[in-house]
Amino acid sequence: MLKSPLFKSAAELLAAILSGTSPADAQMERHFRAHPKLGARDRGYIAETVYTCLRRRRFLEYLASGSATTGTTAEVIVAACLVALQDESGRALADAGFRGDGTSIVERVRTLNLEQLPLGVQLDLPDWLLERLLTQYGESETRALAAALNQPATLDLRVNTIKATREEAAACLAEAGLPVELTPYSPVGLRRRERAPIFRTRCFEDGLIEVQDEGSQLLSLLLEPKRREMVVDFCAGAGGKTLHIAALMANSGSVYAFDISAKRLERLKPRLARAGLDNVRSVAIQNERDVRVQRLAGKIDRVLVDAPCSGTGTLRRNPDIKWRAIDVEKLVTTQRVILASASTLLKPGGRLVYATCSLLREENDAVVADFLATHPEFTPLSAAEILARRHVTLPLAGANLLNGALRLLPHRHGTDGFYAMAMERRS
């Protein structure tokens, strides 16, 4: 039976996310800290409900639009979610404290013809994103892509090969009562279809595994770092890819983790200690022209630019993104500046990988095309050939590796959406 405190807590949390600027996961963490009496099961229920509301917001608002209510927008969305997607009754909503007409929502669900709804409502996409995806992919593939984006992501893990093989890590998790399957593409990936308390396992505490989407793992493989090289992760953030790069180098050479956020880089330090890695130097920079960047010009073997982007490829995990105002043009300008600056670090023969977790052509192909047109010393490489050397084979290679780039899509690969292009500096 639906409990009044849970309904109210879910609506309160959803309202905070919709009205704030912080990511949903950060808002959720603050909410649960402020309500310490909520048990693990209740927190799980609230979190699942709120994330479902965020994924299906446009459909749920449409569904509830005929409900007379004195409640908040968030309350109406949560109520519609509970009726349409969790089979709650109008009476249950009233008992839980919903101040609107729950019965009318129930009746609308019963009589709704999904095929007659506007396409953006059917797919739960804002118009700005829907238009771009339709232009790029056409309606059929956009429908499939949207359906995948509206599903929760799997829990993907990367094995730290400094400490364990994939088989050893899988066995460790099985002993903890958390069986996993092997990821189909990444040779160091493990996957769970259901969420699990991974961070409380011995496997995690001992540094055998890290949480990382399979698609993200492939970006480090594209970089193909080697032992004793000098490598830069130009937009390192909290260092997920940095850790993978350092492990691929067998804890040798030097990996520089650059980011403009010292706070994000601080989160890397305990992860390095847990992973048993000491070949990483984290460097907080002011901007892409920082003197600490310029000092390394022409000295670096490989550079990864996982550029700041719209994040549209991660909507399975971050559904709140699609309801926020995103200035794609401003992002593109930033991406071009960062890529150009990062490229100056490479020595002749060095490799540059430009990547985003965006689905949008403007942030991907267009940025790379502009860079190659203005930097003739760089030539694109075949992602298919690089990944083949790492024993990675993707299906539908013609579509996924168009023009040499790597393109990962949730409905095709079961990963987050990623784009990546590897390039070599010839002179």
Active site residues: 357
CA nearest to 215, candidates 119, 316, 326: 316
In 10 A of CB 37, how many CB atoms?
Answer: 6
Strands (E), 115-269: 155-159, 181-182, 189-192, 209-211, 230-233, 254-259
CA angle 28, 261, 243 (to 5 degrees): 85
CA nearest to 330, candidates 304, 310, 358, 352: 310
Does residue 84 sit in helix, strand or coil?
helix
Does residue 148 sit in helix, strand or coil?
helix
C-alpha to C-alpha distance for 158 and 132, rounded to whole angstroms: 32
C-alpha to C-alpha distance for 258 and 314, rounded to whole angstroms: 22
In single-letter form, the type of residue at position 225 comes to P
In 10 A of CB 111, how many CB atoms?
Answer: 7
281 beta partners: 256
Distance of CA 117 to the CA centre of its chain: 29
C-alpha to C-alpha distance for 4 and 274, rounded to whole angstroms: 42
C-alpha to C-alpha distance for 212 and 39, rounded to whole angstroms: 27
Tokens, residue 190: 């493990």
